[in-house]
Each structure stands twice: as structure tokens, then as C-alpha cells.
A and B are shown apart, each in its own frame.
Chain A
Amino acid sequence: MYSRKLPYLLLLPSTLFLCVFFLYPFVLVAWQAFVTDKGELTSEYFMEMATHWKFNTALINTLLLALAVVPFQIVLALYMATLVNGMKRGRDLILYIWTIPLGISDLAAGIIWLAIFEQTGFLNSLMQGLGFIEQPVGFLGYQNKGTIFVAIMLAEIWRATAIVLVILVAGMGLIPKEYYEAAEVFGASRWKQFTRITLPMLKPSLQTAMILRVILAFEVFAVVVALGGTNLPVLMGEIYTWQYDLRDASVAAAYALVVLGISIGFTLLIMWGLRTPKGARV
């Protein structure tokens, strides 16, 4: 009797916590976005958001950044994971170095890449030292949206590829060695082994990594503020502005629902695209 109740007792605190701080707030945010102070249903806040001149730019920038960063990260992490798996000595050291960015916040990553891209920064110094330029270039000036975008992209790839790498290395560890031995016997090349064994067997890990990365990419915020200021609006930045500077929680909530919507949409898309047929799991 005692032991039948025990698991529920142990789960109770965390379940209650998840209900109060995860499920309930998401209901609350929808309420905020659709219901006025007087309790009437309204689409006024959504209209205000959608007609604001920054909305479209912010939405497009956020999507473009995710599109530019995530596929690159997946490919890079796959390459890094195969390199690590091919190592005999020093594997742990290399893995440690490559996962260092895991501990670095997006704000810190933004500041780190600011050191490189700012007007008196290291990139300008290097280019002048090599004789490419006479005067330092304002890479992050408001007229250079393209280079701001590239700087943010690099900072994001630099910072958040590590998490994909960890997931993929863990996933590769789960693939039975016998498959590769069998492939070896039949004379399959390294590349063939990679495309016919590693990739299909890695699907669940790829799925986890992609969902996680896409969600985080839609949340991009501090890197953008550090490198672009307000020159390159993104959704989270707009949410912060509406909530904190303009003190309009309702429009901020409408924005939040947009982020939530595209996050859920892409999650479902990735789950569908990388589904593993039943019975094909290890």
C-alpha cells in the first residue's frame, strides 16, 4: 500500500510546480492577449501588434536567422561528432573544448563577438594590419544591416552548436557497433556507412536537437541586442520593448503567442519530418 502511493507522492511537488509555473501561465498569456481589462473578448491587441511597423521586420528577421543558423549548426555538429568518434586519444579533451560554449550565455556570446566586430574591434584591426582597409569599417552601424545579420549568425553558430553536438554524440553512442561491422564486411565505404547507418539511426537525436535549436533560435534576444542594438528587430526584442519599456503587457502577450505559435508549428513539422517508423527503433 505504502509503496503504491510513494511514486505519486514523489512526483507531486514537481507536477504541482509544472502546473502552476508552466501550464497555467501559458493559459494566462493567451487570456492577456485576447481579453481586455473589462473582461471582453478582443482582437484589438493583435491588430495593434500586426499593424505596428516593426512587426513584419521582426518576424522576418527571426525566421531568417533561424533558417540561416539551424541547418548550418546541424551539419557542423554532425561533422564534429564524426570527427570526435574517429578519435583514439584526446577525445575527452577535444569534447570538453568544443562544449565550452554550453556554459556561455547568449548575452556573453554577443559581447564576445562585439569585441570582434565593433568599430575598433579585432576584425578591423586584422584587416587593417593586412592592408585590406585604410579606415575601420562600421560593421555594426545602422546602415550595415547585412553585416549585423552575419555577426549575429556567427555568434549564434559559435555559441549554440555545442548543444547539438552533445545530443548527437550521445545519440551516436546508442547505435550498435554490429551494424558498422556488418557494413564493413560487405565493403561499404565510410560515406555509405554514414548515410545508410548513422543518419537513419540518428533520427531521434536529430529530431531532439532540431526541435531544441529551432525553439531557442526563435527566442534569440540578447545576442541581437548586444550586436545590433535596435537596428535589427527580432520578436523577443519587441516583446521586451512592449513589456518593459512601453508597459503594454497585452501587446507583449500577443507577440508571445506569435512566438509560441511558430514554435509549436515548427516542432510539429520537425516531429513529422523526422518521424521514426514504429519497429525501426533500437
Chain B
Amino acid sequence: MSRITQPADGTVKGHGVWHRYLFTGSIILLCLWVLVPIYLLLVNTFSTPEAVSAFPKKAFPDINTQSVEFFLNYSGVGQALWSSIKVATVTMILSISLGAPAGYALSRFDFTGKETFRVLVLMTRAFPLPLLALPLAVMYIRVGLDDSVLGLALVHTMLALPFAVLITYSLFSGIPVELEEAAWTLGCNRLQAFIKVIFPLVLPGITASAIFAFVISWNEVFAAAVLTIEHRTLPAFLLQGLGNAPLHLKFAGGAVLVLPALVFIFLVRKYLFSMWGIANR
């Protein structure tokens, strides 16, 4: 009898079916809350330009790529897409090559100043980082980095670096030191042991954090809008067009911005938690 009132999984314990309905209902409702707005954006994206500004709206698109084509051929879009990809790629490379060594050092060594460094990294979270674009705008003009891919990528690296450090820290911590030590006793030096034993094991995780850095840069608006003039990235380009661009252009642009990010997040979903789990302590 007690098996009926108290399910063995002990999860949805309750006084009957109402709890279960409430539980399942809430989950479905919250899924719809997340998915429906994205669906509506896609409806607008795949409707004809006329249908986008028509009233009332239909709940289903007429599957038409006219709006998307119009957006992609719109002057400046191709260049903005290319700028976005370049900046995000440089950000990805910079944040991993700066962050991964730090993550490795934090996980493998005990040394004076370790805590200070950790605090410095965590401190970046308590600061509104996009503001960095203001002083850097002045600095960049002096050193000739204004309106450049590298200049913006450096700011984006600043946004992505704390994550890169924390993710790689948790990745390396998850690999037993014994594996490395075994490699040393078998004649590898530290570098060889790292390349032959550790690196293949962390590669998927490193890739995930690289992708995450890419998404951070791909999505960033404020610094991109402040620091670029000619070489606008896609978000900065869209932001500028918000005031006067026709509706179908905005929605197609929004979809182009959203879709790659969705794919990327799907790829890194396994690592979302290790990233935050370690940062809590």
C-alpha cells in the first residue's frame, strides 16, 4: 500500500494525482514560455515582407525565404556577418590560449598568490564589463586599434576570459594527477605528458569553452556598437538599424543572430554546469 501513496522514486510525492498534474503542467507551461517566442520570431522570418507587416498575423508561416534573402542581400549585412565571424574567432583563440594555461596552473599547483588570482578572476563578475569599451575607445585611438577587429576582440576576450579560466580549471581538476604521474614515470617530461595524456582528455571540454567564447562575442552589442564605425559586427549593425529599418529586416536579422547561437549552446550543453558548479565555492 505504501508504494502507492509514496512512489519509490520519492520525487513527486504528494496526495494524489493533483500534484502530478501541477508538476507536469508547470513543466510544459515553462517549456512553452521559452519556445513560443522563438517560434514566433521564426514565423515572422519565414513569411513574406508583406505578411510581416500585415494585420492580423497568422500563427503559421507561409514558408517563404524572401525576407531572409532580402536581409542577406541588404547592403552592409554581408560585411557585418564577416566582421562578427572574424571578431568571434579571434576572441575564441585569445581567450583559450590565455585562459587554459591559467586553468591548468590553478588545478595542478599550490603556490602563493593563487587565491589572489582567483579573486581577481571572480571580481570581474562584479563589474559591468561592457563599460570597458569607453576608456578603451580612447586608448585605441592612441595606439591605432580603433575600429579594428583585434581591438573589439580584445574587449570580448575580457568578457570570455573568466569563463575560459573557470571551465578549464574544472576540466583539469576532473583529470586525476595520477594519470600524469604515470606518464612521467614512463619517461615523459611534463610537456609530453600533457600533450599525450591530458590534452586528448580535455579536448572536448576545451572545444566547448572555445564555442562558449565564440557565442559571447557573437552576441555582444554594447562594446561592439561603441568601438566600431565602419567594421560593424552584426549585433552593432542591427542595433543601428532598429530605429528606421523595415520590420521584416529586423526579424530576419534577429533570426540570423539567434540560430547559430542555438546550435552552439546545444553543443556545449554538457559543460554548462561544470562552469558554474566550481564558481560557487
Q: Determine the distance from Cα of A208 to Cα of B11 in the docked complex, in whole angstroms.
A: 27
Tell me which of B26, B157, B242 contacts A226 (CB under 8 A): B242
* Chain A 84-112 interface residues, beta-carbon cutoff 8 Å to B: 86-88, 94-108, 111-112
Residues of B within 8 A of A65 (CB): none
Nearest A residue (CB) for B247: A118
- Asked whether A263 is an interface residue with its Cβ less than 8 Å from the other chain, the reply is yes
Q: Determine the distance from Cα of A253 to Cα of B59 in the docked complex, in whole angstroms.
A: 46
Tell me which of A102, A112, A116, A204 contacts B265 (CB under 8 A): A102
Residues of A within 8 A of B10 (CB): 184
- Asked whether A74 is an interface residue with its Cβ less than 8 Å from the other chain, the reply is no
Nearest B residue (CB) for A106: B221
- Asked whether A236 is an interface residue with its Cβ less than 8 Å from the other chain, the reply is yes
- Asked whether A199 is an interface residue with its Cβ less than 8 Å from the other chain, the reply is no
Given the known interface contacts A208-B279, A249-B134, A259-B128, the answer about A244 and B13 at a Cβ–Cβ threshold of 8 Å is no
- Asked whether B132 is an interface residue with its Cβ less than 8 Å from the other chain, the reply is yes
CB distance from A28 to the nearest CB of B (A): 4
Q: Determine the distance from Cα of A228 to Cα of B264 in the docked complex, in whole angstroms.
A: 29
- Asked whether A158 is an interface residue with its Cβ less than 8 Å from the other chain, the reply is yes
Q: Determine the distance from Cα of A125 to Cα of B190 in the docked complex, in whole angstroms.
A: 65
Tell me which of B34, B135, B242, B280 contacts A29 (CB under 8 A): B135
CB distance from B140 to the nearest CB of A (A): 11
- Asked whether A17 is an interface residue with its Cβ less than 8 Å from the other chain, the reply is yes
Q: Describe A's contact surface by its main secondary structure.
A: helix
Residues of B within 8 A of A107 (CB): 219, 221, 235, 238-239, 254, 257
Residues of B within 8 A of A171 (CB): 277, 280
B126–A111 touching, CB < 8 Å: no
Nearest B residue (CB) for A2: B190
Residues of A within 8 A of B276 (CB): 166-167, 170, 208
CB distance from A240 to the nearest CB of B (A): 6
A97–B280 touching, CB < 8 Å: no
Residues of A in contact with B (beta carbons under 8 Å apart): 3-4, 6-8, 10-11, 13-15, 17-18, 21-22, 25-26, 28-29, 32, 79-80, 83, 86-88, 94-108, 111-116, 118-122, 124-125, 128-129, 136, 158, 166-167, 169-171, 173-174, 184, 190, 204-205, 208, 211-212, 215, 218-219, 221-222, 225-226, 229, 236, 239-240, 243-244, 249, 252-253, 256, 259-260, 263-264, 267
A10–B101 touching, CB < 8 Å: yes
A124–B56 touching, CB < 8 Å: yes
Tell me which of B31, B129, B238, B242 contacts A97 (CB under 8 A): B31
Q: List 6 A-B contacts (CB under 8 A).
A: A25-B136, A104-B219, A112-B41, A116-B37, A204-B280, A240-B225
Residues of B within 8 A of A100 (CB): 34-35, 38, 262, 265
- Asked whether B202 is an interface residue with its Cβ less than 8 Å from the other chain, the reply is no
Given the known interface contacts A7-B105, A222-B222, A256-B131, the answer about A22 and B124 at a Cβ–Cβ threshold of 8 Å is yes
A7–B111 touching, CB < 8 Å: yes
Q: Determine the distance from Cα of A2 to Cα of B217 in the docked complex, in whole angstroms.
A: 36
- Asked whether B182 is an interface residue with its Cβ less than 8 Å from the other chain, the reply is no
Residues of B within 8 A of A190 (CB): 13
A205–B254 touching, CB < 8 Å: no
Residues of B within 8 A of A22 (CB): 124, 127, 129, 132, 158
Tell me which of B101, B136, B281 contacts A13 (CB under 8 A): B101
